[in-house]
Structure 1
Amino acid sequence: MSTRNNTRPWLAVVLAFLYPGLGHVYLREWLRALVWFFLNVTSFALLMDEEAMPETTSLDALFRAAENIPPEAALALVSITVFSMIDAYWMAKRQNRDAAVQEGTTCPNCGRDVDPDIDFCHWCTERIAPESESEDSGSGV
């Protein structure tokens, strides 16, 4: 069984701020990363006016194009970025929680440290390993 290192949720957020989907690449969530990349690129392509697109790729032309972005396009692109940041943060927190539960170090219900030798949390009495219960019931013992 391989264990996953804890991810840094705020690093995923910063990467998603730089470009939607980069935070998901850091989290190794490839399909989500592609969805965010695709959503950002298609929104940009569909919402931008032809007049706002630069003829050259110089830095000055890109700054002038950024000034001519329609408000609805800017709102859509900012919204995509914010939702990508929220999703990256949520996914990183979930991966950390799932990794801790798989290692048996924290309770999935209350989040406190538990003894890996017992199959319930001695803090809240929540069962920790329900998959082992189903294996035991199928063995006929």
Structure 2
Amino acid sequence: MTWLRALLAAGLSVIMPGAGHVLVRDWLRAVLFAGLFLSASALFLPLDQLAAAGAITSYDEVREQATIMAEGTDAVAQFFLSFIALFAAIDATFRALGYPSGGTDDAAGATCPECGKEIDEDLAFCHWCTTRLEPEGADEEPIHS
């Protein structure tokens, strides 16, 4: 299930950077990647040509618009947008596999054994990945007198 989730997160991030992070519930990174990609798109893509073309109603018009976008965009812009999408896909894949975002393991509280994120100790489950958590001391057998 984890690999399938990681592949789905990567695929969504290739289509729209930030969408894979939504799948793994990493909201801040989703907003950052989507905002970065949309800002770069607004800067580099020939949006004036697309606005003049009007609404898209058929597959042929989609192909025509894609051709306009490819011809009107230089190689540097295409590389930059592809780099953002690729980096978002790689990051979403690692996040879906459970790798933490930071380089240190200095968590202030308890962490989930499944996803590794910090959890609320009052809950019986991880609010990030919904894994059921065993209460501390559950391993001990009750004492009968």
TM-score by length of 1: 0.59
Distance 1:41 1:117, change over 3 A: same
Q: CA deviation at 1:93?
A: 1.3
Q: CA deviation at 1:100?
A: 2.5
Alignment partner, residue 18 of structure 2 = 21
When structure 1 is superposed on structure 2, of 55-64 and 85-94 the one drifting more is 55-64
Which residue identity is paired with 2:66? F
Distance 2:85 2:44 in 1: 15
User: Contact 1:54 / 1:62 at 8 angstroms: preserved in 2?
Assistant: no
Secondary structure of 1:20's aligned partner = coil
Q: Deviations over 1:65-112 (max 9, x none)?
A: 22222111110110000000000011111269x542779xxxxxxxxx
The RMSD of aligned alpha carbons is 3.3
In the alignment, is residue 38 of structure 1 matched against residue 64 of structure 2? no
Which residue identity is paired with 1:83? F
Identity of aligned residues (%): 26
Name the one with the larger helix percent.
1
Q: Where in structure 1 do 4 or more consecutive aligned residues deviate above 3 Å?
A: 49-54
Query: Mind listing any 5+ residue stretches in structure 1 that lack a counterpart?
Result: 104-115, 119-141
Which residue identity is paired with 2:27? W
Give aligned pairs, total: 102
